[in-house]
Amino acid sequence: MRVPIPTERSAQLPPAPPFGQLFDNIPVSPYCLLVKTTIDFPEHLLHRAKTIAVQRKITLKELVIQGLEHAIRQPAADVEAERKARAAALIAALSAGKNTEPIGPLNRDEIYDRQQGKWD
């Protein structure tokens, strides 16, 4: 672990948070604010990301950081609750429909009439 050596420039910077202080609800050490890592991206995804970074006039690093921050800010999806809500909406839509009886095979004219709202 590298310990920063006090310099004249570091005296101008705001002090790092003490170890254990919460930063976005995550305990951090002042020595762990930046970490280098290697990520393997699919070629087509990396090409698109570089293109978007150039269009936004930012670096690829900044684009990845923005994406990670966005993903972290999003609340964890409750998959089961979403499934139940979609099922309830589907049941409500089906029960509100005019024709709840199953239909058999339709010919071309009957299909056209149903699209136009002309069914019996």
Considering only residues 104 and 52, tell me which one the structure prediction assigns the higher pLDDT.
52
Identify whether 81 is part of a domain. Answer: yes
Identify whether 43 is part of a domain. Answer: yes
- Please tell me the distance from the alpha carbon of residue 50 to that of residue 64, in angstroms, as a whole number: 10
Phi, psi of 74 (to 5 degrees): -70, 135
- Is 64:49 a contact under the CB 8 Å cutoff? yes
Predicted confidence at residue 44, as pLDDT, reads 94
Identify whether 105 is part of a domain. Answer: no
Number of domains in the chain: 1
* Domain that includes residue 26, residue range: 1-95
Identify whether 103 is part of a domain. Answer: no
Q: Angle between the 60-73 and 43-56 helix axes, to the nearest 10 degrees?
A: 100
- Is 83:98 a contact under the CB 8 Å cutoff? no
Q: What are the start-end ranges of the H helices in 6-42?
A: 8-12
Predicted confidence at residue 40, as pLDDT, reads 93
Identify whether 108 is part of a domain. Answer: no
Identify whether 107 is part of a domain. Answer: no
Identify whether 111 is part of a domain. Answer: no
Identify whether 120 is part of a domain. Answer: no
Predicted confidence at residue 115, as pLDDT, reads 75
pLDDT tens digits along 2-45: 555 655 555 455 665 555 554 555 655 555 567 788 999 999 99
pLDDT tens digits along 56-112: 999 999 999 899 888 888 777 677 888 888 888 888 877 776 655 666 787 888 887
State if pTM tops 0.85: no
Predicted confidence at residue 114, as pLDDT, reads 76
State the Cα torsion 46-50-51-57 to the nearest 10°: 160
Distances (CA, A) of 32 to 24, 60, 85, 87: 14, 21, 41, 45
Place of tokens 């170890």: 19
- Please tell me the distance from the alpha carbon of residue 107 to that of residue 105, in angstroms, as a whole number: 7
